[in-house]
């Protein structure tokens, strides 16, 4: 059964990834934005260099595999080019999502992290289309990055609407300690 976890998109999430690969959608924007931009930053510009050097033309339906060389925990980074018209229409979103999910399964990925490609529609429809694409050849676990709370809520609704068995895990809650009051002694102080 497919398990989907959600997390907020950002450098902290990328730094703590527990997956074997990344699936990154690369649109026509330069510099790279969203998940592609964060991953490129952590990879010291490797994706941008591949584009500038002509190794990856970022033309529709083109894909590129880059080894992470230890710069981030996942060993493989898969880049999937998007059509020049972004945000994507529903059929283009489904095509891009299906292409990425099938490629990750064919590559033997057990767990991968990704973020949705830019979508012209609403989040509920994007979640439904993503689940449809993911279930063609499901992997064991996906980590979707974005607005974690909204993703979790809409993925659960899409799962119910489609009537499919997918485990969707809520993001971990963050507990922050209040700042130490100035009136309190520092740790280890002797009070007499």
Q: Is residue 188 part of a domain?
A: no
Residue 104: which residues within 8 A CB-CB, separation 6 or more?
A: 21, 23, 78, 112, 139
Summarize pLDDT for 63-86 with one digit per residue, the tens: 999 999 999 999 999 999 999 988
The pTM is what? Answer: 0.87
Q: Is residue 10 part of a domain?
A: yes
Q: Is residue 89 part of a domain?
A: yes
Which helix (H) or strand (E) segment is 144 a member of? Answer: strand 141-146
Q: Is residue 163 part of a domain?
A: yes
Q: What is the mean pLDDT of residues 116-140?
A: 96
Q: Is residue 165 part of a domain?
A: yes
Q: Is residue 191 part of a domain?
A: no
What are the tokens at 123?
């989040």
Summarize pLDDT for 34-49 with one digit per residue, the tens: 999 999 999 999 999 9
86: domain CATH number?
3.40.220.10
Q: State how far the alpha carbon of 172 is from the alpha carbons of 6, 104, 105, 138, in Å.
A: 9, 25, 26, 24
Q: Is residue 141 part of a domain?
A: yes
Domain that residue 70 falls in: 2-169
Q: Is residue 27 part of a domain?
A: yes
Number of domains in the chain: 1
* Residue (of 20, 1, 18) closest to 138 by Cα position: 1
């Amino acid at each position: 059964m497919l398990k989907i976890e959600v997390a907020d998109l950002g450098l902290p999430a990328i730094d703590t990834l527990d997956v074997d690969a990344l699936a990154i959608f690369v649109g026509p924007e330069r510099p790279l934005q969203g998940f592609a931009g964060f991953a490129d930053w952590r990879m010291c510009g490797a994706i941008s260099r591949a584009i500038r050097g002509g190794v990856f033309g970022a033309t529709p339906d083109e894909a590129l595999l880059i080894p992470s060389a230890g710069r981030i925990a996942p060993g493989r980074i898969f880049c999937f080019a998007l059509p020049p018209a972004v945000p994507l229409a529903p059929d283009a979103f489904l095509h891009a999502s299906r292409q990425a999910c099938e490629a990750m399964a064919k590559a033997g990925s057990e767990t991968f992290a990704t973020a949705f490609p830019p979508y012209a529609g609403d989040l509920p429809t994007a979640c439904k289309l993503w689940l449809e694409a993911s279930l063609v050849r499901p992997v064991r676990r996906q980590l979707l990055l974005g607005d974690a709370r909204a993703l979790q809520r809409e993925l659960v609704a899409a799962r119910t609407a489609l009537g499919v068995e997918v485990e969707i895990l809520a993001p971990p809650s963050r507990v922050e300690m209040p700042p130490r009051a100035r009136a309190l002694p520092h740790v280890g102080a002797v009070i007499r």
